[in-house]
Chain A
């Protein structure tokens, strides 16, 4: 019994590390005298440790194939292990960029970082769930910590309102998710993924003719679509992106999407593999609607944060194209999301860094002022924008290329044409930023207003890590060939 339990613990090693790290951070509130650099560094260290621990079970993540534990409610397959790897690596990257921005604003508290670690624990757990119990609790753990974190830390005036809106939409989406689970339970009488898959194989005809099945799938899609910001469920995105602090924006813009997408892929590959083919129409609908609504919404935005929000919706549409059913599960969607997330974090991080230098970059037109800081930043921003727009030698192009190739191979020509059309439209708003960066004239009388805020010498580590992470993003953006042919 005890041996079994110890074996099972191997499945949650990285979650245990993250949870332990979060609890230690909570204890540290007792000792307020700490250097500001400590908490973000500590959290990044914990995440990297969790990442390293992921490889331990038997040498490499490829050899834990199908290992199950805790009464088969958790499973570590090569696919889920690699998703957890991506998730933790991206989380470390987000915290490195976000932490260095937070530190310059001199508002750090250990509780915030413990919330982040709890949220990451939930996300990692979601990716190894083999049971709707675990999936639900993990999803809630990830989301609840994030709601609290958005309200906890604000660098603008409106973070509380953003938190309220995020909380309400998130709570509605979890209810939809649960209703979907309830219908699928009602049909099959099981909550465990393997059992559902077996029952599906045995009685596929009774199941597929039942309305409960489609109701269940519909509610599940709606619930997961909320978390992934797919189009009819994306209405929270612009407001929350606009109001949230930079650190929380980086977190909510990247981590829940990756965890939910990974979970959806595992779900479609596992218990729902028999209906996956029939979901083609629904996923095409979501994809085209997301791309269209996101791109059209972004075209009219002047506020930079809102523009990035709509652009996130459009990009999730491309991710959904990669999710269209094919012969075998294609990882095109995960690949696209990874490339987009790295670009997103780099853009938001770079803009926040420039704002810390004293520039005001609220609206798109404000980007003319970027020419007051060293040329390298302007070049980097322009490159990142070209990459988001999908211009060939950059990573964004390869992401889109792989997604379209996947869809074309399986005959979804309409989605591909819609995607190409939207890419052209969406280039317009990315190019508008480049126009402000390079071609618009500075307003009269502001030429001499070079940002005077001196770089703070005491936070050398952070400036270095910030530059290093933005540089890392730039390198990834430029040479993502390996990543794009997963």
Chain B
């Protein structure tokens, strides 16, 4: 069986979808969300690279390098915010993020 563009696209969309659901469905730790965010970006990267191969030119591959770089910066900032958040609240449970929101009286 030949591996075509469609297979790569399905794989990358699956990665992206796993990332989105990971963000939406995470119930335990904020770390899960940060990991899912990375997964979404990886899905995008794979899309770019496979389209780049499909078109036979390099723009997409260069773009995926840019995404990798920015994803690293994003992860750094996300973890830094996580650290300051933990210092203040002493927890990273998602269910504890309730100090903002509608107050039921």
Are the chains A and B members of one assembly? yes
**B-contacting residues of A (Cβ < 8 Å)?**
132-133, 136-137, 140, 144, 147-148, 151, 157-158, 160-165, 167-168, 171-172, 174-175, 178-179, 181-183, 185-186, 189-191, 238-240, 242-243, 303, 306
Give the chain B neighbours of A174 by CB distance below 8 A.
Answer: 74
User: How many residues does chain B have at the interface if contact means C-beta atoms less than 8 Å apart?
Assistant: 42
Give the chain B neighbours of A240 by CB distance below 8 A.
Answer: 100
Give the chain A neighbours of B97 by CB distance below 8 A.
Answer: 161, 164-165
Closest to B88 in A: A160
Interface of A is mostly: helix
Interface of B is mostly: helix
Give the chain B neighbours of A144 by CB distance below 8 A.
Answer: 73-74, 77
Give the chain A neighbours of B52 by CB distance below 8 A.
Answer: 185
The answer on a CB contact under 8 Å between A164 and B85 is yes
Give the chain A neighbours of B55 by CB distance below 8 A.
Answer: 186, 189
Scoring B residues 5 to 28 as 1 if CB is less than 8 Å from chain A, else 0, what string do you get?
A: 000000000001001100100000
* A158-B99, A164-B97, A178-B41 given; A136·B51 CB < 8 A: no
Query: Among the listed B19, B37, B54, B100, which residue makes an inter-chain contact with A186, where contact means beta carbons less than 8 Å apart?
Result: B54
The answer on a CB contact under 8 Å between B66 and A133 is yes
Q: How far is the CA of A136 from the CA of B45 in the complex (A)?
A: 14
Give the chain B neighbours of A186 by CB distance below 8 A.
Answer: 47, 51, 54-55
CB distance from B60 to the nearest CB of A (A): 6
6 contacts between A and B (CB under 8 A): A133-B66, A147-B77, A161-B100, A171-B78, A172-B20, A239-B100
CB distance from A182 to the nearest CB of B (A): 4
Give the chain B neighbours of A168 by CB distance below 8 A.
Answer: 23, 33, 37, 78
Q: How far is the CA of A238 from the CA of B48 in the complex (A)?
A: 34
Query: Among the listed A140, A162, A191, which residue makes an inter-chain contact with B59, where contact means beta carbons less than 8 Å apart?
Result: A191
The answer on a CB contact under 8 Å between B44 and A178 is yes
CB distance from B82 to the nearest CB of A (A): 7
The answer on a CB contact under 8 Å between A160 and B37 is no
Give the chain A neighbours of B60 by CB distance below 8 A.
Answer: 182, 185
Give the chain B neighbours of A181 by CB distance below 8 A.
Answer: 63
The answer on a CB contact under 8 Å between A162 and B100 is yes
The answer on a CB contact under 8 Å between B40 and A132 is no
Query: Among the listed B16, B20, B44, B100, which residue makes an inter-chain contact with A165, where contact means beta carbons less than 8 Å apart?
Result: B100
Closest to B67 in A: A178
Scoring B residues 63 to 94 as 1 if CB is less than 8 Å from chain A, else 0, what string do you get?
A: 10011001001100110111011001100000
CB distance from B55 to the nearest CB of A (A): 4
Give the chain A neighbours of B43 by CB distance below 8 A.
Answer: 179
Give the chain B neighbours of A165 by CB distance below 8 A.
Answer: 97, 100
The answer on a CB contact under 8 Å between A164 and B82 is yes
* A151-B84, A178-B67 given; A172·B40 CB < 8 A: yes
Closest to B99 in A: A158
* A148-B80, A164-B85, A186-B51 given; A172·B63 CB < 8 A: no
* A161-B99, A175-B19, A178-B44 given; A185·B73 CB < 8 A: no
Q: How far is the CA of A174 from the CA of B85 in the complex (A)?
A: 22
Closest to B59 in A: A191
